[in-house]
Structure 1
Amino acid sequence: MGAMPRLEHLQFVVYAGYWSSVEDDGVPLEQFPTKEEIEDLDLGLDNLLSLEQVGVTVDCTGATAAEVQEVEAMVTHAVENHPNRPTIKMDRVYEDGILSDEHKVALLQHHIEERFSVLEWKDDPDAQFISFLWMRRRLQKAICYIDCAGANMCEVEKVEAALRRAAEVHRNHPTIQLIRTNTDEMVSSSHRPDTELESDHDDSPENLLCKLQLKH
């Protein structure tokens, strides 16, 4: 690349880890090349003869805290090596996507851990659960924490059954582990008398059983 003497301000994004939107599912397929390019970044910056300011956005998605810090240090070093010693402003985005070391290992092994609120998922069709797992094309194991707070047993079992069916139709037939949480905050079916009315047109075995439970 030839010299670009008029460029005084440069902004770019670096990816510290795996960009989950590659597969739109949190199970990474590939890592955007970052470290190798960053190591050679001083070569590209040398062509920017008038460079005065550098703005860097570090995408933390899918990276551990140590990986984010390593990338930041590499970028800083590359900019400091420029003859003009330009100022550098570094910002992080998607810090909530920083992973623990354990979570990173799990992702690379195509495992996921997800929380499902029964109250949020109880009225969703099976297709929604199937789509949720289907996007995770390489999924091998799913640990699902079923948040039972405010839900009755019928609703909890309905969500669990939908997740099992979603795993059954997944191309990899992943193993699925359902762990109930907040069971002490569950309510009885009589506390939600409209449950039967909302489910009148659902003739699945699980829902028929729920109707019988509601009637007794």
Structure 2
Amino acid sequence: MKKQKQLPAPPVQGLPDKQAEKPVLQKYTPEETKNKVLELFRAQGDVNQVLYELGSDLLPKFLHGTKKEQRDVRKALDGQVMSVMYGFEADTHVALMEGFPERLRGSAREICTQFIRDFDCKTDADKILAESAAIAFMRYLDSSRRLNGCMDIVEYISDERTRYLGYLSKQMDRAHRQYLSALMTLKQLKAPAIEMNIKTKNTFVAQNQQINATQPTESNKNETIDPK
């Protein structure tokens, strides 16, 4: 018996074409592109990215993992934690402490904390300004210590020693001016605002007096004042 040739099936109407299934790529405006990039990507060392890595992997293993997991993540954890400490300098003052010798680091941090408490610093800008005042104050103390130690040494006053003493003296003056400048700025920021309600358009405010210029009246329009 002769085998019949099988014919191809007719195309079914309504089925989507495979080439037509390819989605149309969405395009973005420059503003949308900027928002997407800032939302999806992080630069290396970004604090938010470091916090995400710590919270999702390293910190849970270190706090709740096995002894082996704790040992494995300890080195990576230390590096990531230091990135967070540097990122929140207004609260940790790590960079402030590293700017001084080890014997002065505790004092520098404590003085900064006292400034923040004394001036009731709430914002990060106020805390950084208090940190600047602490840095200048510690530099003043360190330069003063070096100057006094050099002057106590009984030896021949050479040109090099004289220049070094002058350098230390200038460093003390510079640090003291920076300290006073930061302190005065903090005081001005924390001072209550002065409210002034001036109704006249011609008011001149001097240092210790107020002069109001008024329109001449009929009684004094033709008045003549003889000089004495």
User: Could you say which structure has the higher helix fraction?
Assistant: 2
Q: Assess same fold via TM > 0.5.
A: no
Q: Which bracket does the TM-score occupy, shorter chain normalised?
A: under 0.3
Bigger RCO of structures 1 and 2 (CA < 8 A, at least 6 apart):
1
TM-score scaled by length of structure 2: 0.23
TM-score scaled by length of structure 1: 0.24
